[in-house]
Structures are given as structure tokens and as C-alpha cells.
Amino acid sequence: MTVRVPNDPAGPPGNPLSELVRLQTEFQARLAEETISYLRRLQGAAAPASPGTVVMPDGDSTLHATAKPGGSAKLELEIENRQRVHCMVTPALGQLGAASGVTWMPAAEASPPSLLVAPEQVVSLALTVAVPPELPPDTYRGMLVLQGFRQGGVPVAIAVEPAQ
């Protein structure tokens, strides 16, 4: 049996040899991709664990605040460290959104911006959120996250009242 190999790499449509080469190439590429993915997972599983921290809300933990456009809203969070060693806490506010569809990327200033919490210590954290003058009155909801900690953050609701 004779197999003719044309110079044209694409070959005519339906050429069984070019189709075979294409399938073989795709198979090799997929195999390489899956192998790398497997090795990455293997490497991750065999690495030493780094014990982390979980944020657990104490009761109804939604942070509420009220402000007028052009003013500022103040959020206060108490943090209790129930772990056996110090915890570094860095708060950050995510995007806020209202039922009307308006979204707000807030400028928030935390005081202090980060803090070290000793075991069994309870600390207070204040966040001042500047409300833009052009923001329509509504209730804006979102999350305050403690950066790098596992399992979410603290729900936030800021009610922006009419200026008058």
C-alpha cells in the first residue's frame, strides 16, 4: 500500500493523513496540559500546610451605617482572636451595590490600616467611608473582608439618605 504525503501542510479537506496528524497533535497538546496540571496538583498536595485563620461572625454581624452624600459613614468592627498565636488583620471593603442597580467602589480609610491581635485579645477597628456627593440615596450592600482569611467577610449595609 502506498501513502502519498503532499507538500501542502493543510492538505485537501478530508485527507485522512492530515486529519490523523491533527488529532495526534491535539492529543499530545492535551496530554502535556493534563500532565502539567496533575504535577501541579501533586506538588501542591505534597507541600507543607500553612495553618490559616477563619473569620466567624458572632451573632448578627452585619455592619450598618447611615450617611448623607458628601459626608462619611463610620463602620466599627470588634475582632476577637481565639487562636493561640498572634493574628495580623487587614480590613478591606469590596464593591457596594444598591437594589436600584447603582454600584459603588467606596474609598475607605481604616484606623488602624492593619493591626496585630494577640491571643484572647479583643480589638476595635474603625472604617471611615467617604460618600461621593453624586451618589443617589439608597441602601448599599457589600462585604468587609479581612484580607487573606478564609471563608468570606462581614456583610455591610450603608444607608445613604437624601442630602436635605
Partner 1 sequence: MSARVKLVDDAAESGRSTATLLASLGGRLGALHVITGATAIGSLAAGFAALGREVSATAEGARIRQALESGRAGSNGEVIWDALRIGDWVSSHAPSPVLDQFRNDLALLLAEDVDETLELLPIPPEMAGAAGAQEVPRAAFLDFAVGYWAFSVEVVRAFDALTGPTLGPPYAVGEGTPAEPGGPLLR
- For partner 1, the binding residues (CB under 8 A) are 36-37, 39-65, 75-90, 92-95, 105-108, 112-118, 124, 145-150, 154
**What's the longest Cα–Cα distance across the chain?**
91
19 or 80, CB closer to partner 1? 80
Instruction: Write the CB contacts of 45 (distance below 8 Å, at least 6 apart in sequence).
Output: none
24 or 37, CB closer to partner 1? 37
72 or 149, CB closer to partner 1? 149
Nearest of 107, 106, 127 to residue 115 by alpha carbon: 127
Query: In angstroms, what is the minimal distance from the CB of 8 to partner 1?
Result: 30
How many angstroms separate the CA atoms of 98 and 139, rounded?
6
Question: What H or E segment, with its residue span, contains residue 17?
Answer: helix 16-46
Query: In angstroms, what is the minimal distance from the CB of 145 to partner 1?
Result: 6
Query: In angstroms, what is the minimal distance from the CB of 21 to partner 1?
Result: 24
